Structure 1
Amino acid sequence: MKKHRDTSIVQITDANIEEYAREMTTPESEGVKALIASSDAELEYIDMLSGNLVGQMLKMLIKISGAKRILEIGTFTGYSAIMMAEALPDEGEIITLEMNLRYQKLACKHFREFDHQNKIKLLEGNARELIPELKGEFDFIFIDADKLSYESYFKQALPLLKQGGLMVVDNVLWDGTVLDPEDQKAQALHEFNKMVSQDSRVEQVLLPVRDGVTIIRKK
């Protein structure tokens, strides 16, 4: 989930290289392409979609890790949930949390159309209130929601992640503004990145993919 801005403040990756990377990456399924078109028709901005580079990375990590139970914090219109569901085995499950009423409506529509195996369960409400109510362990957690709450999401969700499980966090470079934060979100993300880097319970790698993605493994 990014932000509503026509151009990036900082081009993290050369535009030609990023386009080349997209061309050489497995394309989205026809169902996901239909979801993108539907989202674009309904909303003024769809730059909060994770994008195919991040989406395919999520799918790859899920398949490599053998994850079967996933928690997603921040649904938007359902793009990343559908992408991840495509990577799950038949018995897999995704619980995704969304507070925005309009996004909930769109996501539910997309899940009815594209989640034919009913792997995805949408919980409506504030993630900080919903996470404490969740039961059981998760193999994989994806965070892509309110940037000001990333630290809170991490602290609440990490105990739910199994040992050796993966957590992926999107938009951690925030157009490169974390290098010299001048607004609340950039500062919050910078503090979040520092906190994760100093947490002895995890190991992590921050990748300059799209708007920055951190892959975290719970020790």
Structure 2
Amino acid sequence: MDRDTYEMGLSVIKKAGVEHEINFIQSPALSVLDELLEDHENRGSFDFAFVDADKDNYQKYHERLWQLLKVCGIVVYDNTLWYGTVAMPEGSTKEELKPNRLHTVEFNKFLAVDYHFQISQVPLGDGVTICRRL
């Protein structure tokens, strides 16, 4: 949602020669994904998606993104270890981390049984999950 952040990386994008491959849309993600799905040519046409957004909607993003990704396309989810709280008993989690901890635990369980994707959890930073569409 932050155009300034996109523009900060724009020089690297241009240097890589992929500026024409990126369509920056400043908008809430669910409505954009729904609009993209309305155009059937978008289905199965995306190579990559990166999600760092509201944790309570990760599953909704995922359900839409699998339709947009090509076979072997990649979606990466940020913060899937949520400060390590996903591996802690709920009682030992700081109160302010509990709501997103619950969403993150549920999302990780959802991904673990999603037959549309092969997943890999990477314990880098706050955790990223890499999902390859089958």
The equivalent residue for 1:94 is 22
Give the TM-score, by structure 1 length: 0.49
Q: What is the Cα deviation at residue 80 of structure 1?
A: 8.8
Q: Identity of counterpart residues, as a percentage?
A: 34
When the two chains are superposed, the root-mean-square deviation of aligned CA atoms in Å is 2.5
Ranked by relative contact order (alpha carbons within 8 Å, sequence separation 6 or more), the top structure is 2
Q: What is the Cα deviation at residue 158 of structure 1?
A: 1.3
- Residues 45-89 of structure 1, C-alpha deviation per residue, up to 9 Å, x if partnerless? xxxxxxxxxxxxxxxxxxxxxxxxxxxxx5573389648836854
One-letter identity of the residue aligned with 1:78: Y
- Matching of residue 199 in structure 1 with residue 104 in structure 2: no
- Matching of residue 142 in structure 1 with residue 70 in structure 2: no
Give the TM-score, by structure 2 length: 0.76
Structure 2 CA distance for aligned equivalents of residues 83 and 170 of structure 1: 23
Q: Structure 1 residue aligned with 2:26, among 109, 116, 124?
A: 124
Q: Structure 2 residue aligned with 1:156, among 32, 44, 64?
A: 64
4+ residue runs of structure 1 moved beyond 6 angstroms?
none
Structure 1 CA distance for aligned equivalents of residues 15 and 129 of structure 2: 20
Structure 2 CA distance for aligned equivalents of residues 159 and 200 of structure 1: 13
Structure 1 unmatched runs, 5+: 1-73, 96-120
Structure 1 CA distance for aligned equivalents of residues 30 and 112 of structure 2: 22
Structure 1 CA distance for aligned equivalents of residues 2 and 48 of structure 2: 15
Structure 2 CA distance for aligned equivalents of residues 130 and 185 of structure 1: 23
